[in-house]
Structure 1
Amino acid sequence: MSRTYDLDRAHVFHSWSAQATLDPMVVERAEGTRVWDDQGHGYLDFSSQLVFTNIGHQHPRVVKAIQAQAAKLCTIAPQHANDARSEAAHLIAGLAPEGLERVFFTNGGAEAVEHAVRMARLHTGRIKVLSRYRSYHGGTNVAVNVTGDPRRWASDYGSAGTVHFFGPFLYRSEFDATTEEEECERALRHLRRTVELEGPQTVAAIVLETIPGTAGIMPPPPGYLAGVRELCDEHGIVMVLDEVMAGFGRTGSWLALDAHDVTPDLVTFAKGVNSGYVPLGGVIVGERIYDTFAQRVYPGGLTYSGHPLACAAAVATIETMRDERIVDNAARVGREVIGPGLAELKERHACVGDVRGLGVFWAVELVSDRETKAPLAPYGGSSPAMNEVVAACKKGGLLPFANFNRIHVVPPCTITDDEAREGLAILDAALSVGDAHVEG
């Protein structure tokens, strides 16, 4: 074992893990869409790590921007203006819907959700926050309670003022729907009833991932987000769209909300804004929320809010994505290569129950029985069968993103057609391992 590995096992406490069971891969280097371990083995990165290296690894233009900023101004307290933060805020606001002009910077997505909820509660004078099951919004106190997946359970004391509801997900419909139209109508009716029964006058915000990511990449049916906006307007509820994972090119548009003709009150972001090169997140703030704090102190802040190195990386990332048409590439590769390729895999493999997504944001749902849709791993856990599929991916040179019974196909937005086909071929072979666990 290497010194790096030994020191990790001796001193590093890892997130979301049983510490003594870990056997982490030591990453020696990364470039573009690939990473290499300390044994020299290369892997095509179909995970974008935690779905954040949208611009790929070690993009020279972004690395150079960080180096230049470090030589000029490494850090400064957030009460002072600096050119990197001002320019980053200007560019980010320019990607948001009209009327969302200000940016509150955080160090990551969970903090962004924390502050969006705080803003909504103070703006409305209400406490309750509604969010969907099968969602993830972060690991900090409020964000993890807003979360609707099993990672919430250990920290949920039922006292955070959060209420969960079922969102639209036709493949595993909670509403016995058979079409997207039925799923949309019934999901909106369910949400309306939830608001009515909770008391509209008690609800500060509805928080939604524009497209739920870690929980399953479930694009909402047409009209759903517009229906949520209408419900929020009716009752003075703040609409928060979480774009932490889905934003900045991941879906083939700058923000996932671009495809839905809807304007939320607050938008949270992180990850792809600078591909995680330096930690950065934030909240894009609409006029109504801004006006609440125009003459009233906003009671929140962070020591490193708008850190110059992180903001310089964001400026370089956004400008490079524009210049190199990286968002367009994500849309085209998803439409022409990944989408059709996954559809073929579904036809060929009995363990594939469903594929869904867009851009470079796809989920492959694995089942042991297509008829009953029995998952290949239980909700909230893994299984020997899923572990075998993941191991086969890695053996073939593919670094996958796996969660419960799904493999997510989420490579960098810079991926080429040939690289996408290479990854799909490795996944094809790995799914044969899953087929062996199909019943009947």
Structure 2
Amino acid sequence: MTVQQSLLLIIALIAVSGFFSMAEISLAAARRLRLRQLAADGDERAPRILQMQEQPGDYFTVVQIGQNAIAILGGIVGEGAFSPFLTGLLEYGMAPALAQKLGFVLSFLLVTSLFILFSDLVPKRLGMAEPERLAMLLHRPMRICIVLLRPLVWIYGKITDGLFKLLGLPMLRDERITSDDILAMTEAGTQAGVLAQNEQRVIANLFDMDSRQVTSAMTSRDRIAFFLRDDPDELIRARIAEEPYSTYPVCTHDIDHVVGYVDAKDLFQRALNNQPISLKDEALLHKALVIPDRLSLTETIEQFRQAQEDFAVVVNEYSLVVGIVTLNDVMSTVMGDLMGPDDEELIVQRDASSWLIDGITPIEDVQHVLRIDELPHSEEYDTLAGFLMVMLRRVPRRTDAVTWAGYKFEVMDVDSYRIDQVLVTRLNGTVEAPSPPAIPQISTAAQA
């Protein structure tokens, strides 16, 4: 075989090997969601690719047979094609024995490099760039190869199946899409500019609803504006003007004895019509939904749906009121700054390395803003104030500070044992500055 013939044969072998490499990577990288979309649009090839992905054994067996056979044949042909030519060139400047050895090494490196570049790297990059289109384009030739190599495919397939069963390995790829998969795709979409950051955060919040408790969305006990059932007309009118909220709990004796709630619109209507306001009037009073403080946000929404209510009183295990929550509160937690943009923010970024955070801020939102994956004893608290109490093992005082994960949490203001403001500062630039995220807003529900 002449040098020219050997070169043509090597080029042909590289092309065939590249075909198998491209077929392999395109099938593996083809996105099932994209293939389903193409199938729905009427492309008849997409369902075949989906079926091949579900049972890829024969397909990949043919790929490996072809690639390994071509690699061996390419080495034999390449050594015979280039080694004599290179040896002859090297003999002009060195001993024949040394020239022969060096010519063989150079011939091996040349053939190997050609195969790596043109039968592996280039085809696989092309396959990764447009996997669905190439997988559908190469499907028919690969089906022909499977038919032609059927005996070998059957033998190797049975041996492989036996080894998998013997070792207890999974036979099929798990195609279930998890929440982590969806979040990873949305984060990639955000980085690519397809999704806005606040939209990506909404999606992430939806998947957090099962793990976030209702206490992270409620209006806390000390912020509730409520009426006593015996309050006179003048006091009710004054309270409405001073604290204009959409809903007010109605109690007897104190906040822990809630008998119902009133809508502000009903009170306003009576006030505008100069009608007397009495909370003993059953027409004004609505029955309050009472829920435990250990419910998740998902369970809270289900409670609202079953009761056909959008207002609930949250109680602890001692039947003491710890807060109130509305459907709007839950949705504001999920939607972030897409809802209630005029409300006061719980987290305010002062500069690239510091934040002023309200003590009642849900600890999940603090972790998201600061990009802290884990906090100690996280099961013992729901808010930033709770985190500080657990870390200090006492009620925090002004100027108390806790350092964790490269951040300093310093108490700036305390009002009657309630932590109003916490200054969080990044220490020594140890953590990469996060971009401003979607921050939950304080609820528009009744609060003091």
TM range (shorter): under 0.3
- Larger relative helix fraction: 2
Larger radius of gyration: 2
Larger RCO, structure (CA 8 Å, separation 6 or more): 1
Structure 1 length normalisation: TM-score? Answer: 0.22
Structure 2 length normalisation: TM-score? Answer: 0.21
